[in-house]
Amino acid sequence: TENIYTLAIESSCDDTSAAVLLNDKVLSNIVARQSVHEEYGGVVPELASRAHQQNIVPVVDVALKKAGIRKNDLSCIAFTQGPGLMGSLLVGGSFAKSMSLALEIPLIAVNHMKAHILAHFIAEEGFDKPSFPFLALTISGGHTQIVKVNSFFDMEIIGETTDDAVGEAFDKSAKILGLPYPGGPLIDKFAQEGNPKAFPFTKPKVDGLNFSFSGLKTQILYFIQKKVAENPDFIEENKADICASIQYTIINILMDKLKEAVKQTGIKQIAIGGGVSANSGIRKTLKEAEKKYGWKTFIPKFEYTTDNAAMIGIVGYYNFLEHNFSHSDIVSKARIEF
């Protein structure tokens, strides 16, 4: 059988990443995180683009070196076409195009959100791959979707957020508490010591399988403002309980919709993906749902939850097998249809 070596490049937001796969196995997965954004409380697109330009060559070099292969061994190059920040996408896209032209190997454009889902097909010891059809909950800083996955190439969004993404709900709540960006992982950390029922926040009423998180953010803001007016040390004294309560409410919102999606589709295989699937509370709740509801849940290896090129590579590999190649004039897209 043939050995397919895929070089994958991901540059949709603020992480520059390159990976090398041998068939469905990851040989290297290098991520250069950008810390320049921390002091701004969010990703600054112009700075992200510039940092990608500085990082891309060394990151690709390290990925090839760590995989122990040379450029000439590569079978194809996969890159993130979108969605994401235009200035960031263009850096990875231009690099991938030039390299595929220079090496005369196929170019494969990949949808970032589909890659978060298909990351489950990376061969990893101790991790099962879902079988089709399954439901995917993709939760990141930019997206919140429930997707019915019929095959590698046939996916259908059956629910999504009408306003903020769940990652934004975490990050904006964290900001209200005075935590640095991105605050999601910090809420997770403090929540582990807190009582999730200390402060009951109400869940929004949204029809069907769609989500809304902007009301929760406002609710938390008003609650904190009122409490701090009464006691300036309120946040410091209750940080763990506040974080646990926020996280608990968000998880309940997600679980309500997942239960509804299972009811509507009859599909009980649930895979999660995206940066927020690193959240320990979500992981625990989903594991418990296996016993509680008879679901089979798929939780990605930690390194494949936040943005990484390995997930782009696995999509590249399956497209390579089908000879789904892209032309070198393909354009990056900040927004992209499924």
Single out the residue of 41, 133, 185, 215 in contact with ligand KG4 (rule: CB under 6 A).
185
Q: Is 170 in the site for ligand KG4 (CB under 6 A)?
A: yes
Query: By CB under 5 A, is residue 241 in contact with Zn ion?
Result: no
Supply the Cα-derived Rg of the chain in whole angstroms. Answer: 20
Pairing type for strands 15-22 and 25-33 reads: antiparallel
Span 5-44, contacts to ligand KG4 by CB under 6 A? 13
Query: What distance in Å separates the CA atoms of residue 55 and residue 67, rounded to the nearest whole number?
Result: 18
CA 79 vs. chain centroid, Å, equals: 16
Nearer to ligand KG4, 32 or 64 (CB): 32
Q: Which residue of 93, 159, 182, 196 would you call a contact of ligand KG4, by CB under 6 A?
A: 182
**273 annotated binding-site participant:** no
Phi-psi region of 104 (alpha: psi -120 to 50; beta: other; left: phi over 0): left
Helix (H, G, I), strand (E, B) or coil at 120: helix
Site for ligand KG4 in 223-282 (CB under 6 A): 274-276, 278-279
Task: By CB under 6 A, name the one of 106, 130, 141, 159 that touches ligand KG4.
Answer: 141
Instruction: Report how far residue 231's alpha carbon sits from residue 89's, in angstroms, rounded to the nearest whole number.
Output: 46
Decide: is 49 part of the binding site for Zn ion (CB under 5 A). no
Is 235 among the annotated ligand-binding positions?
A: no
Minimum separation from the CB atom of position 167 to ligand KG4 (A): 3
Is residue 9 within 8 A of residue 92, CB to CB? The reply is yes
Q: Which is nearer to ligand KG4, 209 or 276 (CB)?
A: 276
Is 323 annotated as belonging to a binding site?
no
171 binds Zn ion (CB under 5 A): no
Give the nearest distance from C-beta 293 to Zn ion in angstroms.
27
Answer with the entry of Zn ion, ligand KG4, none that 185 interacts with (C-beta below 5 to 8 A by kind): ligand KG4
Angle between helices 166-176 and 234-265 (to 10 degrees): 170
Backbone φ, ψ for residue 165 (5° rounding): -80, 160
Pairwise CA distance, residues 184 & 175, whole Å: 10
Interface with ligand KG4 includes 92 (CB under 6 A)?
Answer: no
The answer to whether 138 contacts Zn ion (rule: CB under 5 A) is no
**Residue span binding ligand KG4 (CB under 6 A) among the ranges 26-34, 54-62, 91-99, 137-145:** 137-145
Answer yes or no: are the C-beta atoms of 254 and 286 closer than 8 Å.
no
Q: Which one of ligand KG4, Zn ion, none is in contact with 121 (Cβ closer than 5 to 8 A by kind)?
A: none
Q: Closest Cα to residue 198, out of 254, 239, 256, 251?
A: 239
Known binding-site residues for substrate equal 138-142, 171, 184, 188, 279
